[in-house]
Structure 1
Amino acid sequence: MSPHDRLDRRRWLQQAAALTLGALPLGGAMASTEPFPSRAVTLWVPWPAGGATDVSLRLLAELASVTLGQPVLTENRGGAGGTLAMPVLQQARPDGYTIAQMPQPVFRAPHTQKVLWDPIRDVTPIIQVSSVTFGVLVAAGSSVRSLEDLFAFARAHPGELTIATNGIGTTPHMVLEDLFTARGLRYVHVPYKGTAEQLNAIASGQVMAGVNSTGFGPAVDAGTLRLLASFAGERSKRWPQVPVLRELGFDIVAKSPYGLAGPRGLPKAVVTVLHDAFKKAMFDPRFGAELAKYDQEVDYLGPDAYAQACREIFAQERAMVDKLGLGRTGS
């Protein structure tokens, strides 16, 4: 074989090898023909088990699994104000088998503390599910009958008013800072990891008051807790006697939307499959009835609209943190 023939043969082999490798996915494995999903999907819930969000998302996962044809398993990772699912998403493979709830605090935390993840860069938004608002609560037997009573106590007893929230840097914590700073008052912040634990602390008098999402609905309806004020834009039809903050002289409406997201780089086809299954589940009457227990409704946005909403929320949170002087310092 002449040198020219050997050169042509070498070029042919190189081209054949390149074509073969080009047909393989990264890692050298044969391209999978398995449809998505071909096994269970894991939904990470960044709150302890038993709270309103956990219970409603478990039902949503159960309903979505029917359409997907595979189980949607829920895993809890509570703590750090609802942000602990973010490292999971950041490290997960973008194959659709790991998704997580995206609560409001994940858009705030990067502005108040150093974190290794980014809620815009590191995720692929799938669907917005619902939104919660919040309220100020006391035990049913408390002598505190209004928000003004809380302010009066804080004024008369500096440093003695204890108020529970579901974590440092959460929306309730931020609103409390705004409310009390506006009046030059102090309170003792008592953060809890989960709603059930916090509501029990309020009802038993371990803390004088608390702020939580409308997961408190059953306790208020049962007469265990008293709702003093709501952070919604208007009074609830469920509790029409309870004023909203705007009526009390505070230009504050705190609505905390949440949705589901996957890791960065999730293929569009996979996003579509997940979106369609969860959208169908969201509009199932059983899910609507579950949300109604907590004075919530479906608040749907598709992938593109939800992605835009996430970017807007991220910017809004930066503005609020700057307003309250709670931004992180240093690198």
Structure 2
Amino acid sequence: MRMFGIRHAAVIAAVISFGHLSVPAGAQEFPIKPVTLIVPWPAGGSTDLSMRAIAETASKHLGQPIVIDNRAGGSGTVGPAGMAASAKPDGYTISQIPMPVLRLPIMQDTTWDPEKDFTYIANLTGYTFGITTANADFKTWKDVVEYAKKNPGKVTYATGGAGTSPHIGTEQIALRAGIKLTHVPFKGGAESNAAVLGGHTMLQADSTGWKALVESGKLRLLMVWTDKRSPSFPDVPTLKELGYPLVYDSPYGIAGPKGMDPKVVAKLDDAFRKAVEDPAVQATMVRLDQVVNY
């Protein structure tokens, strides 16, 4: 099931379409200093880990360091919105662009326009989402549904923020299951991991920042939201197998402020393309259950 309308799809297409540009000689002066890459999530989550791996390799191809700047808040929109409002379009400040940057302007008034306020550079990867729990009574998703039907609103779930794909996805699942859940938003996956581990929420919906916790037995993975079962967790059912005709992967990429020189965009695009093609980066993506989607 596609989550987004025509306008949303058009914006996503704009993100993806910036690949494979040639680099004219006039771009040779860029970069002459480190590049700041805003990651709009707290350190330690799956997006932070993947972006650090990609940035480290991309910096080797750029010839300058790429410095990660974690700016969490607003469901991943504070960092990109701040960049769009105040950063120079010189290529030295760029940002990871999560789906809420594209989605929230459709849902509510925002200070940014995703079609006008960014220069899209490259699409990079997407997520494996799932619902986890540390609750001993929830062995399967069926257990959650049965409990929630008897106790409307008492099942709490943590996410990395309101309007994120885990939030929207969980609400759609709950609607189809005929249950009412209570959302508890945090600033990112590291915080939502802590919430469910500490028993502050009964469930967590997030991408694979929970992977090591599931593998160690500290959390139980009840479902994945991919089209097919995860190779890392072959015994865990997909949403479709549980009777929900839904697939969520939330592809994401990088962008800069509006008005960037196409020659600079091409240099950045080339460095990040080479990074996601690097075997070491791809190994990190496999470890995080993220598929390269350049």
Same fold (TM over 0.5): yes
Asked whether 1:229 is paired with 2:251, we answer no
- Aligned equivalents of 2:27, 2:247: Cα separation in 1: 49
Verify: 1:109 aligned to 2:104, yes or no. Answer: yes
What is the 5 A alignment of 1:295-310? 295-300=289-294
Residue 211 (structure 2) pairs with residue 211 (structure 1) = no
Distance 2:212 2:114 in 1: 32
Q: Contact conserved, 1:86 with 1:117, CA < 8 A, in 2?
A: no
Query: Which consecutive residues of structure 1, in runs of 5 or more, have no partner in the other structure?
Result: 1-31, 301-331
Where structure 2 has 5 or more consecutive residues not aligned to the other structure, the ranges are 1-25
| Cα distance, 1:34 vs structure 2 | 7.8
In the superposition, the TM-score normalised over structure 2's length comes to: 0.87
- Specify the alignment match of 2:214 in structure 1: 220
Contact 1:100 1:261 in 2 (8 A): yes
Q: What does residue 62 of structure 1 align with?
A: 56
Identity among equivalent pairs (%): 44
Q: Which amino acid aligns with 2:213?
A: A
Aligned partner of 1:75 in structure 2 is 69
Q: Distance in 1 between matches of 2:83 and 2:27?
A: 25
Of 181, 186, 193, the residue aligned with 2:180 is 186
Which residue does 2:280 correspond to in 1? Answer: 286
Distance 2:119 2:182 in 1: 38
Question: Is the CA contact 1:89–1:122 (under 8 Å) kept in the aligned structure 2?
Answer: no
Instruction: Using structure 1 for the length normalisation, give the TM-score.
Output: 0.78
Q: Which amino acid aligns with 1:134?
A: F
- Matched to 2:43, the amino acid is A
Q: 1:166 aligns with which of 149, 160, 163?
A: 160
Deviation at 1:59, TM superposition (A): 2.2
| Equivalent AA in structure 2 for residue 72 of structure 1 | I
- 2:194 aligns to what? 200
Letter in 1 for 2:243: G
Cα contact 2:145–2:179 (8 A) shared by 1: yes
Q: Quick one: distance in 2 between partners of 1:198 and 1:163?
A: 9
| Counterpart-to-counterpart distance in 1, 2:142 and 2:27 | 64
Higher normalized contact order (CA 8 Å, seq sep 6+, divided by chain length): 2
The corresponding residue for 2:266 is: 272
Structure 1 residues 201 and 240: CA distance shift in structure 2, 3 A: same
- Name the SS for the 1:248 alignment partner: coil
Paired position in structure 2 for 1:22: none
Hey, what's the Cα distance between the residues in 2 that align with 1:216 and 1:245? 18
* Rounded Cα–Cα distance in structure 1 between residues aligned with 2:177 and 2:289: 30
Provide, for residues 13-54 of structure 1, a one-character-per-residue CA deviation record: whole Å limited to 9, x for no partner.
xxxxxxxxxxxxxxxxxxx99801111111000001111211
Which amino acid in 2 is paired with 1:127? A
The residue aligned with 2:123 is 128
Distance, in Å, in 2 between the alignment partners of 1:248 and 1:62 is 39
| 2:170 aligned with 1:176 | yes
1:182 Cα deviation from its structure 2 partner = 2.4
**Aligned 8 A contact 2:159 2:186 in 1:** yes
Instruction: State the AA in 2 paired with 1:108.
Output: R
Partner of 1:258: 252
Residue 138 of structure 1 deviates from its aligned partner by 0.6
**Equivalent residues of 1:89, 1:123 under 8 A apart:** no
- Report the CA distance between 1:124 and its aligned residue: 1.1
Looking at structure 2, the residues matched to 238 and 56 of structure 1 have their Cα atoms a distance apart, in angstroms, of 17
- Corresponding residue SS for 1:216: helix
Distance 2:56 2:239 in 1: 36
Q: Indicate conservation of the 8 Å contact 1:164/1:207, yes or no.
A: yes
Tell me the distance in 2 between the aligned counterparts of 1:242 and 1:38. Answer: 48
**Partners of 1:81 and 1:60 in 2: how far apart?**
22
